[in-house]
Each structure stands twice: as C-alpha cells, then as structure tokens.
Amino acid sequence: MTETAYPLLGSPLKLGPRTARNRIWMTAHATLLVKDHLFTEAHIAYYRSRAEGGAAVITMEAMAAHPTTQPYKGKAFAFDPRMVPEYRKLADAVHRHNTLLLAQPWHRGRQTNSVTNGLPVWAPSAVPCAVYREMPHVMTTAEIAELVHGYRLAARYAREGGLDGIEVHGSAHGYMLNQFLSPATNHRTDAYGGSVENRMRIVLEILEATREEAGPDMIVGMRINSDDGHPGGLGPQDWADLARRFEATGLIDYISCSQGTYVNRMLIYPTSPEEHGFQLGATAQVKAAVSVPVVGVGRIVNPDEAEAALAAGQCDMIGMARALVSDARWGAKALSGESRRIRPCVGANWCMTTIFAQAPIGCIHNPSAGQELDLDEDSVTPAARPKRVAVVGAGPAGLRAAWTAARRGHEVTLFEARDELGGQVRFWAQAPSRRELLGIVDWLSDRIGEEAVELRLGTRVGAGDLTGFDVVVVATGSRGQKHGWTAVRPQNWAGPPVPGADLPHVMAYTEFLAAGAPPARRALVFDAMGGRQGAVVAEVLASKGAQVDFATQLGQPSPDLAASRDWGKVHGMLRRAGVRFHVDRELAEITADSVTLRDLYTGAAETISGIDRVVMVVGSTAEDALHHELTAAGMDSHLIGDAMAPRRVNDAIREGELIARKL
C-alpha cells in the first residue's frame, strides 16, 4: 500500500449499506454537459475522469424532480424514465474506478422564473426571490403530493439505473424544501406551515418515498444547509436541530452540509479571498447533533486543509466541487504523495461564469475541464520530429504552450521581457482579494520547472533574435489603451484621445499595474469595459491609501461580475474602502489636477478636483507586431492568447495548450 501523508483522507467510510473507499466526495454542481435532458459522452467523460482521479463518491448535478423546475435543455429530468439507461452508462463508467454514484433530485421553488417553460413558479408561499423577483404560485396540497411523487420517481429510476444512492436536495441553498423549512419563506397556515413539524412535513414525505423506492441497499442522504446566512433565515442551531430530526426518522445514511440561499449566493460558491474551510464551524455543529456521516464543504482546496478538518472532527467526508473541476486527479495526487502537483482552485469562479453563459463547465486554468474527451491533459502525443521552439512571452498563454511543447519532446526556449513569470496574472494578483490567482502562475511555473525548458527572463526579443528556431509561438500579450473614449463612441476609438490623456499622471491599467501600482492621494478610475479590471485597479489604489472615484459609461459599475456571482461582494469591499461610483458617464477632459465627466444622457458636466492619478480601463491592443514581422520574414509563427485578441486567462491557457499540441 502507498504511504500517504493524509491517512484520514485516504481511509474508507461506511455510508449506510455501501462503503466509500476514501473521504473525497465530489459534490453536485451544474456541468451543462447534458443535452436535450440526456447525458452526453462529454458528460460521462467528465465524471469518469473524476472517479478515476480519486473521488470516492460523486453526486451528480441537481436534476429536476418535477417539470415545473429548471426546464432548460442542459438539465436532466430525474422523474423521466429515459434516465434509466443514461444512469447505467454513467454508473458503469464510474464503478470501474470503485466510485459511488448518486443522483440528486431537486426543485428550485421560488428561485427561478417562468421564462423558459411558461409555467408558474411553485413555492410554499408567495414570497419572491431576491434574484428572479417573480411572484410564485402558492402550492396546493395536491401539488405538494405531485412534487413528492416526482422525488419518488427519481428514486425509482436511480435504483433501476444502477446508482448507489440518492441525495435528496432542494433542502439547501434556499431551494424548494429549504423554503418549506424556513419560516422566512414559509407563511402557510395549513399542515405544511407553522410549527417545525409542519414545515418538515414535505421533507419527511419525500424521505419516506425515497427510502421506499430505494430499499435498504441504496444510500439515501440529504443536502441541507448549516446556515442560510441571512437575517430571519435558518441558522446553525436550527439546522443542527433539523438534522437531528431527519436522522431520527431512520431513513437517511448521511447528511451533506452547505450554506447560503439566493439572498446571499456568495456562501454557495464563494470566490477568493473567502477563508478556506469557512463553513466548517457550522458543519461541526450539525455533526455534533447526529451520528450519521456528515459531508463538509466550503473552499476546502488542498489536502492539508481536508486532513485538518477530518482530524478536528468537523466532518467525516470532504466535499469539493470546484477543487475537482480545477484538478480531476486531486484525490489520486493527494493520496499518492503528489499533492504539490495539484492544480489549486484559485476561487476565480470561471466555472460559474461558464454556467451563467449557458456554456459547458470550464475552469480558469484547467483547459481539460468539461473537455475531457478532446483535451485530456494527461495524454499528449510525442512530437513526430522534435523542433527548436521559441515561445515569446511567459504569461499564462506562453507558459502553457512551453509546458506542453516540452512535454511532447520539443526543445523549448521561453523568452520573457520581465524578470518574472506570469504576465498579467501577476498584475491582477496585486489586489489583496486576487492574491490566490498566483496559484495559476505557480502551478505552471512548477510544471515548466519539471521539463527541460530553457528559461530566458529579462529578455525582450525581436524578430532578428529568433532566426535559429524552427517555430515561434508569439504570446506577447496586450497593452491597455488610454485614449479615454468610450465604447458608446466607436467612431472615436481610433480618433483623437480625450483632452489631457497624454498627461504624465494618466495611465492605462496595464501600465499602472506593470509599474507596481504607484500610490496616489486621490485617483479616478475610468472603466469603459465593465469587467473585473476596473474593480481590481480601484481595489489596488484604495489598498494603498488613495481616495478613489470610479466612473463608468455603464449603468452600473463592473456588471460582468454578476457572472462570477461576486458582484455584491466586490462592491461591498470597494464601498467599505470609500470608493465613490459615477455611472453613465464619459470622460470629457483631464487636467493636471482635475477630471471632468459628462453625463451620457443629459450631457451635463461635472468636475472632480484634486485628482493626482487617472487610470483608464478602456480596452486593450494586441501586441502582435512580432508575429507579423516573423511571418513577413517567412518564419513559422503562431499567435496565441491576448496577442491574438485581448481576452481572459482561460482563453490564453487553452490556446497555449492547443498550439503546443499542433507543433
């Protein structure tokens, strides 16, 4: 047997009638790899790779327990008999690796709208949800029975499909059963509202139906919260009490804890810099109330944290979703002495952003996530003919290209003008809340260090320096603009800059961050893009003591953060730091010590005085000149990442991987 630094993490655990081979549990999360409500090959490959990669238990993504919930085509219907053969295929794939597979029937209750299916939203009471704000239909007792029957069907088909268990959901994250359980959202006066016994009634009916269908040989568990995380919601003691009552039914084999509702979604999918293991205190309160195994989650990212949580008795199983999105082989690496090779979840929530865009799940620095069939990280083919490869630029694109090219047997030289690796990722990590992003650079740097890549730091190269190479990968990144015109005036994009943009205290965001973010007394950030850049620059300035004004042409600052779900969190942080926002504004003029903003809709001008630093986030230009020179000189040159078109870290890394596979 392999020696392990994580004896608890590697130890088996009995889950009712079955045994988990270790303590690693992949908790449910949307993948959008389901098509037309059925699994796809990509979906099976996604879970198979996590089973092979060491997860002892996998709870598949939540599935609709009734047609009134989540009808879009990227979701499976747990009440549909067509799931039986689908389950079989998936169960075969993961059972080969001795991994247990569970289905998770659920209903969103009020936390949705009727846009996709035209059906009224069902909820225990007519209380609209903070995110969707649609008035729900108050469920009748007949409809409650219908929903219970949906859960019953889900259990039946899970059994017929050869799954190992069922995790009853809807009872955490503010979904339907959580809505019944919480007095904040259940105002009923019938047998399903009022006392705790009444509020629990629907859940007990579902548990009974589930166990009846599952029989004694399958695992039946529940997903609950350990804290709703909003005033008037259920707190840790309430949940501990409910857990005790659920266990007392004798119907369940385990409890999986999470936190949050749509009132505070940052507890459900917390981004960096949330404290790792932040839910474990409340999870431990639930665990103290029950004797069935308890699964804990919440930014548990590395095996040291996991082992510590088990050693402290805060939970019995380590639940992870994003950590296993980031590295499918997390468990195998942790338990075979390879934990330093785990690619860490950096809390960027690119996975959530992909789902928000209705795209298959992705990861900011694991290009294989959701692409296991086409882009398996561990299978690269040796190059037919090793070439002398120059990679120019050691941002995420260049680092990834150099790593995979070297893995394929090419002779790789990586040139970087700066004295350190990481490109713009290092810029972003200057913001206190974005420090974890350095995990992207560290992981890639370590991989480069394992290969025979010749590293030439502090070396800015031109076309003339590259004549001895067979092929060049140009990953030279992008440069922020500082013309100051906004996207609402595209005709001016190439026109004259805003008056004063050439003053020495005016900088583009890349220039500002590359210079180590020189401190200012009073700064203005002008953001025309609405992404994270503006928020990061404002945070960096404020963290260095500046009074910051943040102006944007948009109707709200940094709206794109809604996709990673941390809009409220970032804005809370910026507001606490005293940042003042100006929306629907364009830059009219900059002087040595003032900035004039113009209201987009009224034309009214407003001057802010005393400004000693202006940072512009108004778009970037691809640094592609080297590529064009090389191509003109007849060299084999390939453009990737921001140098192709300024975009996101995940694009840079994916393109680095793809080009390296082609060389």
Catalytic residues: 175
Q: Which stretch binds ligand ADP (CB under 6 A): 45-53, 329-337, 410-418, 594-602?
A: 410-418
Is 394 a binding residue for ligand ADP by CB under 6 A? The answer is yes
DSSP 3-state assignment of 594? strand
CA angle at 191 for the pair 209 and 120, rounded to the nearest 5° = 75
Among 477, 480, 530, 534, indicate the residue that binds ligand ADP (CB under 6 A). 477
Is 397 a binding residue for ligand ADP by CB under 6 A? The answer is yes
Among 60, 440, 630, 652, indicate the residue that binds ligand ADP (CB under 6 A). 652
DSSP 3-state assignment of 444? helix
Mask 341-380, x = binds ligand ADP (CB under 6 A)?
----------------------------------------
What gap in Å lies between CA 111 and CA 253, rounded to an integer? 28
Residue 565, CB-side half-sphere exposure with 13 Å CA sphere: 25
HEC secondary structure over 137-187? EECCHHHHHHHHHHHHHHHHHHHHCCCCEEEECCCCCCCHHHHHHCCCCCC
Among 136, 331, 344, 396, indicate the residue that binds ligand ADP (CB under 6 A). 396
Torsional sign, CA 552, 557, 558, 562 = negative
What gap in Å lies between CA 181 and CA 171, rounded to an integer? 8
Adjacent-strand bridge partners of 107: none
Nearest to ligand ADP of 292, 417 (CB atom): 417
Among 121, 166, 295, 475, indicate the residue that binds ligand ADP (CB under 6 A). 475
Q: Which stretch binds ligand ADP (CB under 6 A): 145-153, 378-386, 596-604, 641-649?
A: 641-649
Q: How far is the CB of 469 from ligand ADP (least distance, A)?
A: 13
Among 418, 435, 522, 582, indicate the residue that binds ligand ADP (CB under 6 A). 418
Pull the structure tokens for residue 492.
């001016």
Check: CB of residue 540 under 8 Å from CB of residue 630: no
Among 417, 455, 608, 658, indicate the residue that binds ligand ADP (CB under 6 A). 417
Among 221, 303, 344, 398, indicate the residue that binds ligand ADP (CB under 6 A). 398
Nearest to ligand ADP of 261, 478 (CB atom): 478
Among 461, 471, 525, 616, indicate the residue that binds ligand ADP (CB under 6 A). 461
Is 476 a binding residue for ligand ADP by CB under 6 A? The answer is yes
Cis bond before residue 273 (omega within 30° of 0):
yes
Is 642 a binding residue for ligand ADP by CB under 6 A? The answer is yes
Nearest to ligand ADP of 77, 415 (CB atom): 415
Q: How far is the CB of 645 from ligand ADP (least distance, A)?
A: 10
- Distances from the Cα of 149 to the Cα of 62, 140, 142, 495, 655, angstroms: 17, 14, 11, 65, 48
DSSP 466: G
Mask 74-113, x = binds ligand ADP (CB under 6 A)?
----------------------------------------
Pull the structure tokens for residue 652.
């840079």
Q: How far is the CB of 57 from ligand ADP (least distance, A)?
A: 36
Question: Where does residue 661 rank: exposed (0-12), middle (13-18), buried (19+ CB within 10 A)?
Answer: middle
What gap in Å lies between CA 154 and CA 75, rounded to an integer? 14
Q: How far is the CB of 533 from ligand ADP (least distance, A)?
A: 12
Q: How far is the CB of 418 from ligand ADP (least distance, A)?
A: 4
Going by C-alpha positions, the residue among 180, 19, 16, 164 that lies closest to residue 104 is: 164
What gap in Å lies between CA 154 and CA 166, rounded to an integer? 8
Q: How far is the CB of 638 from ligand ADP (least distance, A)?
A: 12
Nearest to ligand ADP of 503, 625 (CB atom): 625
Check: CB of residue 255 under 8 Å from CB of residue 284: no
Among 240, 412, 524, 626, indicate the residue that binds ligand ADP (CB under 6 A). 626
Q: How far is the CB of 252 from ligand ADP (least distance, A)?
A: 47
Q: How far is the CB of 649 from ligand ADP (least distance, A)?
A: 6
Q: Which stretch binds ligand ADP (CB under 6 A): 23-31, 38-46, 291-299, 416-424?
A: 416-424
Q: Which stretch binds ligand ADP (CB under 6 A): 61-69, 152-160, 469-477, 533-541?
A: 469-477
Count of positions on this chain that bind ligand ADP (CB under 6 A): 25
Is 480 a binding residue for ligand ADP by CB under 6 A? The answer is no
What gap in Å lies between CA 502 and CA 497, rounded to an integer? 8
Is 524 a binding residue for ligand ADP by CB under 6 A? The answer is no
C-alpha dihedral (82, 85, 86, 89), degrees to nearest 10: 180
Q: How far is the CB of 657 from ligand ADP (least distance, A)?
A: 12
Check: CB of residue 347 under 8 Å from CB of residue 436: yes
Residues 106-135, interacting with ligand ADP (CB under 6 A): none
Crossing angle of helices 141-160/83-95, nearest 10°? 50
Among 105, 229, 393, 619, indicate the residue that binds ligand ADP (CB under 6 A). 393
Nearest to ligand ADP of 286, 644 (CB atom): 644
Q: How far is the CB of 660 from ligand ADP (least distance, A)?
A: 13
Nearest to ligand ADP of 465, 599 (CB atom): 465
Q: Which stretch binds ligand ADP (CB under 6 A): 80-88, 395-403, 490-498, 569-577?
A: 395-403
Check: CB of residue 607 under 8 Å from CB of residue 524: no
Q: How far is the CB of 425 from ligand ADP (least distance, A)?
A: 6
Torsional sign, CA 224, 230, 231, 232 = negative
Instruction: For the chain, give the number of residues.
Output: 663
**CB-based contacts of 447: which residues, under 8 Å, 6+ apart?**
403
Crossing angle of helices 41-52/83-95, nearest 10°? 30
Q: Which stretch binds ligand ADP (CB under 6 A): 21-29, 57-65, 475-483, 524-532?
A: 475-483
Q: Which stretch binds ligand ADP (CB under 6 A): 4-12, 187-195, 396-404, 567-575?
A: 396-404
Residue type, 135: M
Nearest to ligand ADP of 541, 626 (CB atom): 626
Question: Where does residue 531 rank: exposed (0-12), middle (13-18), buried (19+ CB within 10 A)?
Answer: middle
Q: Which stretch binds ligand ADP (CB under 6 A): 26-34, 253-261, 276-284, 636-644?
A: 636-644
Is 536 a binding residue for ligand ADP by CB under 6 A? The answer is no
Q: How far is the CB of 639 from ligand ADP (least distance, A)?
A: 10
- Distances from the Cα of 528 to the Cα of 77, 413, 547, 564, 618, angstroms: 42, 37, 20, 19, 5
Adjacent-strand bridge partners of 294: 255
DSSP 3-state assignment of 281? helix
- Report CA 636 to chain centroid distance, whole Å: 36
**CB-based contacts of 205: which residues, under 8 Å, 6+ apart?**
144, 148
Contacts with ligand ADP, residue ranges (CB under 6 A): 392-398, 415-418, 423-424, 460-461, 475-478, 623, 626, 641-643, 652
